[in-house]
Amino acid sequence: MTIDYSEKIPNNVELAGDRTLQRALEHWQPRFVQWWGTMGPSDFAAADVYLRTAVGVDAAGWATYGQVRMPDYRWGIFLADAKPGRTIGFGDDYGLPVWHQVPGEYRSQLRRLIVTQGDTEPASVEQQRLLGHTCPSLYDLRNLFQINVEEGRHLWAMVYLLHAYFGRDGREEAEALLERHSGDADKPRILGTFNEPITDWLSFFMFTYFTDRDGKYQLKSLAESAFDPLARTTQFMLTEEAHHMFVGETGLSRVIKRTLEVMSELRNDDASAVRNAGAVDLPTFQRYLNFWFSSSLDLFGSEISSNAASSFATGLKGRPDESQYEEHRCVDSLFALTTPAQGGGVKDEEVPMRNAMNEVLRSSYIRDCELGLKRWNRQLERAGIAFRLALPSSRFNRTIGVWSAASCDLTGEIITSATFERGRDQWLPSAGDREFVMSLMQRVVDPMRMAGWIAPPERGINSLPVDYEYVRLS
Ligand code: BYC
């Protein structure tokens, strides 16, 4: 099915057949546009950007490329095709037909999940608002804007669900999604990571590698939901999410490549020599990685969570790729967990599997994060550099869950809070690191050039050359 772009809100949900819903969404639309104008990418409204827009949800339609001004981007509502006869894949109602409406008893819990998901989308656009001013190339500028417009569309996806299935409460929540703002002292975004500033491109690439990957895991588990409209919406969002993680992974790999070139030119791997030559030294890279990884781990919630147990039991939220598991009810199974013991040390305990679902997701996520590390370490190895990047322990620098009460070093050893504070600047970006990284952020908008701290990508977008004018600035 091809989407009709002459409609005010492009969609494949037959909006024209539901006048009340259409009017409610058309009422929200100018507020979104106003939010985009004030909180979205600053100062690039007149630029022509080479963007992909979905014109259908199938392989042929989901990525159509062309020059677009961002305020004219058509944010649409798309659900993946329905699977006839789909049944609930996990929890107490395993095997029963999926729901096409919200069961009354699950209404507030489901709304909370959709609002939490929806809140992250505009938050990330707000976090990245100023990055366009310091882009390392037009290629990167285009990728930033592609991500921004798609996060805007993901907000639309959640707002559609709120309007279509949650009545007045849903409409109020949709308004509130535009009223909370990233980092706002009075009305912050719901989840911690989405209030962290992203003022440099190294943080942007870390965010798109680590935080968008949390998005992948959360969306995959919502794509299993018994509430079919949520499952179909998130399934289509995942198609777009893959590019965001690609930007993170290749961005970080290009930073490392450039650092290695500089080390080789200098015949010196000393961090200050690398910095003086205008590249990111590897210890600084590792500290940024430590920060964004540990912050993203918090996004999975507590290791032991009654919310998670209830979302699984009721069929609201499953595990990513639920079909890969042998057992889908998880009533009697246990999960082994190590937690900090009162009075020091650690203790091993077994918790009901359903209560440990956040940890099940987090463990899969960590394994996925490792893949990038392996690739980057191969780059270092091939260059003959002894330095190796590593993920810190999942106990390190946590502010949510059982480890938030303990101070731990990078290996997960429990230490005193005073020792943590002494180690902080070795483990996490210091004020000096941030100042240095910011000093590298000089805007490059000549299509033939790339900032000195990052290597060019291996290929351009949609088979175009790397030096294509991806953004035409007015
Ligand atoms: N910061 O039982 P708990 C993405 C709250 S990213 C602050 O531990 P639960 C994207 C929690 O809300 C994916 N608060 O955890 C990426 C709860 O508060 P309430 C976003 C936190 O409920 C890049 C309380 O602590 N999607 O798409 O089992 C760019 C106790 O909760 C945090 C989702 O997250 C935190 N880090 O699980 C753009 C999916 N963690 O309700 C987009 C939807 C927990 O008692 N959300 N809390 O007031 C969920 O599935 C769950 O809400 C969570 C938490 C996994 C987040």
Per-residue pLDDT for 392 more than 80?
yes
Instruction: Provide the 8-state DSSP code for 393.
Output: P
Per-residue pLDDT for 273 more than 80?
yes
Which atom of ligand 1 sits closest to the CA of residue 317? Answer: 50
pLDDT bin (cut points 50, 70, 90) of residue 62 is confident
Mean pLDDT of 299-312: 98
Q: Residue 231 burial by CB count (10 A; 0-12/13-18/19+): exposed, middle or buried?
A: buried
Per-residue pLDDT for 93 more than 80?
yes
Separation CA 172–CA 154 (nearest Å): 18
Tokens of 447: 């299509």
The closest alpha carbon to 237, from 321, 112, 153, belongs to 153
Prediction pTM value: 0.97
Q: What share of the chain is helix, strand, coil (3-state, %, to 5)?
A: 55, 10, 40
Distance in Å, CA 305 to ligand 1 centroid: 11
Residue with CA closest to ligand 1 atom 34 = 117
Which atom of ligand 1 sits closest to the CA of residue 401? Answer: 8
pLDDT bin (cut points 50, 70, 90) of residue 57 is confident
Residue linked to tokens 């006869």: 85
Separation CA 29–CA 9 (nearest Å): 8
Distance in Å, CA 307 to ligand 1 centroid: 10
Q: What is the pLDDT of residues 167-192, one digit of tens each?
A: 999 999 999 999 999 999 999 999 99
Separation CA 431–CA 429 (nearest Å): 7
Which atom of ligand 1 sits closest to the CA of residue 305? Answer: 2
Per-residue pLDDT for 5 more than 90?
no
Sign of CA dihedral 119, 124, 127, 133: negative
Instruction: Provide the 8-state DSSP code for 13.
Output: S
**Candidate from 212, 400, 403 with most ligand 1 atoms within 8 A of CB, to mutate:** 400
Mean pLDDT of 36-41: 96
Distance in Å, CA 300 to ligand 1 centroid: 6
Q: What is the pLDDT of residues 317-375, one digit of tens each?
A: 999 999 999 999 999 999 999 999 988 899 999 999 999 999 999 999 999 999 999 99
The closest alpha carbon to 33, from 52, 8, 51, 50, belongs to 8
- The values of phi and psi at residue 113, to 5°, are -65, -45
| All residues at 6 or more sequence positions from 237 whose CB lies less than 8 Å from its CB, including other chains | 154, 157, 219
Distance in Å, CA 224 to ligand 1 centroid: 17
In this prediction, residue 371 carries a pLDDT of 97
Residue linked to tokens 């322990």: 393
pLDDT bin (cut points 50, 70, 90) of residue 4 is confident
The amino acid sitting at 382 is R
Q: What's the length of the chain?
A: 474
Kindly list the protein residues whose Cβ atom lies closer than 6 A to any atom of ligand 1.
Answer: 112-113, 116-117, 120-121, 124, 151, 191-192, 211-212, 214-215, 218, 298-302, 305, 307-308, 317, 358, 400
The closest alpha carbon to 255, from 158, 389, 146, 368, belongs to 389
In this prediction, residue 406 carries a pLDDT of 96
- HSE-CB of 89 using CA atoms within 13 angstroms: 21
* 217, 299 Cβ separation under 8 angstroms: no
